[in-house]
Amino acid sequence: MKTLKFLMVAFIATTVLSLQSCKSDDDGGDAGSASNGTVTASVDGASYTSDAMGTSVSQVTANGMTTTLITSNEFSSSRNITLTLQGVDAEGTYIIGGGANISIVASYIEANASNPTDTQIWSAPFDENASGEVNIVTITDSKIEGTFEFTARNPDDESTVSVTNGSFNLDL
């Protein structure tokens, strides 16, 4: 009976350790659900999937710091999500806002082509508090992949939007 108990405890411990080794923490987590060349998210509960032709990523290095700009457009609804990642060069979790040294910025835009002055823009961060995060799962010379979520505010009317379940899968 003691042998059976020992074997059961050993089996459970091995199973738990095996599952723990698959768990992601500071490595940026899982890659999300965006197909290659797109950005996906939920904006206040509404689905967002960028058009591959309207999605781009660019990197600029100046004074030893790299800035990555991810721009995505959903043409059918005239919506845009943009992420600016300054100094991000490794896998991990990066906070949007939360202090004086802001290096990650996000925005959500609803464009109005017939009246451009009526275009609505929500930005994050919008105060000294953290307003979201970007999780980089893969970053190489040829690819960037990860997830994001943020709450952004429109400075015109103080309204907010919640962008959740965001993911990107882009070739550099």
pLDDT tens track for 34-48: 889 999 999 999 999
> What proportion of the chain, given as a percentage, has pLDDT over 70?
83
Predicted TM-score of the model (pTM): 0.80
Mean pLDDT of the chain: 84
Tokens encoding 86: 């300054």
Nearest alpha-carbon partner for 31 in 142, 132, 168: 168
pLDDT for position 31: 64
Q: What's the chain's length in residues?
A: 172
CA distance 124 to 72: 16
